[in-house]
Amino acid sequence: MHEFETALGQYLIYQTFLSLTHPDFKVYLAVGNKIYEKFFAQVAIKLILQKYQVLLLVIDIKKEEIIKWIS
């Protein structure tokens, strides 16, 4: 959970400053597919992501490919 709190804080900081300097750019939080399936499937986490409008990029780390873009 601590890693999520840290990542969310960094994401919100980057999103805030990028919206001021480049308002048309988007910031995505990249997560591995296994972490996405286990951790990000929780209702509480989904509510947090929705409230803060976090965009996700789900990746397969071994194959080094994008699985999902979640806006």
Q: What residue spans define the domains of the chain?
A: 2-70
Instruction: Please check the confidence at residue 1 and state whether its pLDDT lies above 90.
Output: no
Residue 43 confidence (pLDDT) above 90: yes
φ and ψ at 27, to 5 degrees?
-110, 130
Split at pLDDT 50, 70, 90, the class of 71 is confident
Burial class (CB in 10 A: 0-12, 13-18, 19+), 31: buried
For residue 68, pLDDT over 90 is answered with yes
Contact 14, 29 (CB under 8 A): no
Which CATH number is associated with domain 2-70?
Answer: 3.40.1350.10
Per the DSSP assignment, residues forming a β-bridge with 31 are: 58
Residue 39 has pLDDT above 90, yes or no: yes
Average per-residue pLDDT for the chain? 94
